[in-house]
Chains A and B, each alone.
Chain A
Amino acid sequence: MNTATEAAPAPPVDSQPLSESAGGRRFRIAEYAGFVPALVLYGAFFAVPLGIIVAYSFWKVVDYNVVHQWTIDNYRYFFSVATYVRTLWATIWVSVLSTVLTIAVAFPFAYWLVRYVPKRMQRTLLVLVILPFWTSYLLRVYSWLNILGDQGAINRLLQWTHLTDHPVSFFLYDRPAVVLVLVYLYFPFAALTLYASLERFDWDQFKAAMDLGARPLTAMRRILLPQIKPGLTTAVIFVFIPILGEYLAPQLVGGARGVMIGNLIVNFFSGAEYTRGAAASLLIAVLIIVLLVIFRRSLEIKDPYASGR
């Protein structure tokens, strides 16, 4: 076939490449103008401080002064102390466990909300989900002391029902308390993200799968989950990453047995050990970046209709 003789179809008017005229350049600048505030904000208050932390992590402190002498001692020191490595692992597994539990609680809630609750009622329930945000974070953590403490609601209930005759110390100042409070704190983030994702899902596909003989769990696994994967991943990111850097919840309800890496970082900084603190902070930052790279692939969704576009 002689393709050369065939007249190429004229491109549609709206797909014409932009001319390099002054007007075109102005248009391009205008296109990027909206990006500038975010660039300034993230550049000045994220990228630059992060750069400073990177530099600090390779310097050292002498008599309360940061000395600009390049060294990897802070990292070597961190990995040479078993307690720090243990604390890092403890932080990771507390974050993983809290995230799994948060999603495990938030997913059925969002599913129930989308499938079985009338639209008007959904809004009311969503407001209730975000209601804790109306109070301060500190207050929300503090309130758990009144629930889990020796004189707290749970212990009073246990004593009132004669299940025990003295306060049970198990509930507070240990890792289970940290995990419980973290699940409570991050539940709204997961619930809202999953709700948004489930609400957009085309439930006819789910019904069609069931009509074709799939069991509910199979339909959920093979039809629902692949399509809400970006929402699920976003929920995991919103929950897991902030928990990695948590300081206040373990400080208030974790006691001496619920320490996370954030608590050690605070001790480093308040004791003038900026460089040690920077190295420990950066290890968490690196972990987060690695996870984001891994999660990035999960944020992509395959075309469910296989339309080929």
Chain B
Amino acid sequence: MSVYERRVTRAGLLKAGAAGAVGLTFARPAFGGLTQLEATTLNWLTWSDHYANDQLAAVAKKIGIRGRPTLFSDNADAYLKIKRTGSQFDIVSGDALWVPKYHKDGLTESFDLSSLPVSKQLFSIARSFPFWKDGSNYMGYPFSWSTVQIYYNPKYVTTVPDSWHALLDKKYAGKISLENIPTDVMAIAGRATGAKKPYSMTSGEISRAKAFLKSFKPNVLKLASQNNEVVRALADGSAWIGITNLGTDDRVKDAGGPVVKPAYPKEGTVGFIDSEQIVKASKNKAVFEKFINTTEQAPWIAKNFLTNGRPLFNEKAWKLLVNQGHGDRAKRLLYNQPQKALQMTIKGPAGDEQAYVDAFNEVFGA
């Protein structure tokens, strides 16, 4: 009987399988470098505008580290996910004063920013935010920033809404769209009603902010779960006013919508400065710097700006944009003025999160 004619018995098959498994186990170290290169995946809790799929694919191809994003909308939501899940995530994006909160609570780890060659592409101001310093280390890699302001459709809104109180006008009933982020909406209401620290309001200030939101509610068309829904509502004309990030005018135009214009409320506004942080419980901390060093390169950041339209902290990308003929757009959206980021009320955890969410829900329920 030739080897080809030999009958395959169940016992023979099991033996061959076991031998194969043992062989593979012993052979693995020999290909260790290769398998690690192909298999490293960084679970990244982030916003949809922090990456592009082609960027992640190119990075994986180049350095063998694949970023696997999971999206969140609210900082509080991401903070809780990291707190609950620990090592399931390797990188988490966070806003301004949320970053020290993560760090103080032992959820993230600071690092030597200057050890990342790509950090030299950043505006110098982004390398020295006092609230992100941890001795000589930095708590996060600076990414982007934006004010949260008013965008309006001049076809329907004939008087520039230069105050939050202008949004209470009854002629805007059901015509304003904004994101459903209770803490930030409360902070904006705090700004409108003169709270000194919109993210740490006293109970009296919370009451005033709540009263403002009650008057504001009839004018709200939609509390959007994602920023792109606000853009969509402005683009299809169902919303006349949006409370949203810088660059919305370009995004609405790109979506085939009408001309919308920005307005800066005289009471001031809130805004974000966001970053990428290393999750302390991550098992892949060693590859964080390599990953950031590749994904945050100027060409990718310039492309990100053109897609998402709000300023980023990569100065080399600014120069690229100017060279590519996008300088006017970048300038209009304050890309070359990162110092403006420190003039707004930056986002952070609420002093009393429960009071903020309660007040918000009490207004926006049925």
Interface residues in chain A, defined as those with a beta carbon under 8 Å from any beta carbon in chain B: 61, 64, 77, 81, 83-84, 86-87, 89-91, 145, 149-151, 167, 169, 172-173, 251-252, 255-257, 259-260, 264, 267-273, 276
Q: How many residue pairs bridge A and B at CB < 8 Å?
A: 102
Residues of A within 8 A of B360 (CB): 267, 271
User: DSSP majority for the A interface?
Assistant: helix
Taking the nearest CB of chain B, how far is it from the CB of A167, in angstroms? 7
Question: Does B174 count as interface, using CB distance less than 8 angstroms?
Answer: yes
Interface residues in chain B, defined as those with a beta carbon under 8 Å from any beta carbon in chain A: 73-74, 76-77, 79-80, 83, 174, 180, 182-183, 217, 220-223, 225, 229, 232, 236-238, 349, 353-354, 356-358, 360-366
A255 to B219 Cα, complex, angstroms: 11
Taking the nearest CB of chain A, how far is it from the CB of B107, in angstroms? 11
Give me 5 other A-B pairs in contact (C-beta within 8 A), A84-B362, A252-B225 excluded: A87-B366, A150-B236, A167-B237, A172-B238, A173-B238
A59 to B272 Cα, complex, angstroms: 33
The answer on a CB contact under 8 Å between B183 and A83 is: no
Contacts A173-B221, A173-B222, A255-B222; A90 near B182 (Cβ below 8 A): no
Contact of B174 among A90, A151, A169 (CB under 8 A): A169
Contact of B365 among A87, A255, A271, A272 (CB under 8 A): A87
Contact of A271 among B217, B223, B232, B356 (CB under 8 A): B356
Contact of B74 among A173, A255, A270 (CB under 8 A): A270
Contact of A149 among B238, B356, B357 (CB under 8 A): B238
Contacts A64-B353, A255-B222, A256-B220; A271 near B363 (Cβ below 8 A): no
The answer on a CB contact under 8 Å between A270 and B366 is: no
Taking the nearest CB of chain A, how far is it from the CB of B51, in angstroms? 21
Residues of B within 8 A of A149 (CB): 236, 238
Residues of B within 8 A of A150 (CB): 236-238
The answer on a CB contact under 8 Å between B362 and A81 is: yes
The answer on a CB contact under 8 Å between B221 and A267 is: no
The answer on a CB contact under 8 Å between B182 and A267 is: yes
Contact of B221 among A61, A83, A256 (CB under 8 A): A256
Contact of B217 among A256, A268, A270, A272 (CB under 8 A): A256
Residues of B within 8 A of A268 (CB): 357, 361
Taking the nearest CB of chain A, how far is it from the CB of B71, in angstroms? 13
Residues of B within 8 A of A173 (CB): 174, 221-222, 238
A270 to B356 Cα, complex, angstroms: 12
Which one of A87, A256, A273 has the greatest number of beta carbons of chain B within 10 Å? A256
A276 to B73 Cα, complex, angstroms: 20
Residues of B within 8 A of A256 (CB): 174, 217, 220-223, 364
Residues of B within 8 A of A86 (CB): 365-366
The answer on a CB contact under 8 Å between A271 and B366 is: no
Closest A residue, CB atoms, query B217: A256
6 A-B contacts, Cβ less than 8 Å apart?
A64-B353, A86-B366, A91-B366, A167-B238, A173-B238, A256-B223
Contact of A83 among B222, B353, B363 (CB under 8 A): B363
A273 to B349 Cα, complex, angstroms: 14
Residues of A within 8 A of B229 (CB): 252
The answer on a CB contact under 8 Å between A83 and B365 is: yes
Closest A residue, CB atoms, query B105: A64
The answer on a CB contact under 8 Å between B366 and A83 is: yes
Closest A residue, CB atoms, query B238: A150
Contact of B364 among A91, A259, A273 (CB under 8 A): A259
Taking the nearest CB of chain B, how far is it from the CB of A68, in angstroms? 16
Contacts A256-B222, A256-B223; A272 near B364 (Cβ below 8 A): no
The answer on a CB contact under 8 Å between A271 and B74 is: yes
Closest B residue, CB atoms, query A172: B238
Residues of B within 8 A of A83 (CB): 361-363, 365-366
Residues of B within 8 A of A151 (CB): 236-237
Closest A residue, CB atoms, query B72: A270
Contact of B225 among A81, A251, A255, A273 (CB under 8 A): A251
A173 to B357 Cα, complex, angstroms: 23
Closest B residue, CB atoms, query A255: B222
The answer on a CB contact under 8 Å between A255 and B366 is: no
Residues of B within 8 A of A255 (CB): 174, 220-223
A256 to B354 Cα, complex, angstroms: 21
The answer on a CB contact under 8 Å between A169 and B361 is: no
Taking the nearest CB of chain B, how far is it from the CB of A307, in angstroms? 51
The answer on a CB contact under 8 Å between B222 and A264 is: no
Residues of B within 8 A of A172 (CB): 238
The answer on a CB contact under 8 Å between A270 and B76 is: yes
Which one of A81, A87, A273 has the greatest number of beta carbons of chain B within 10 Å? A273
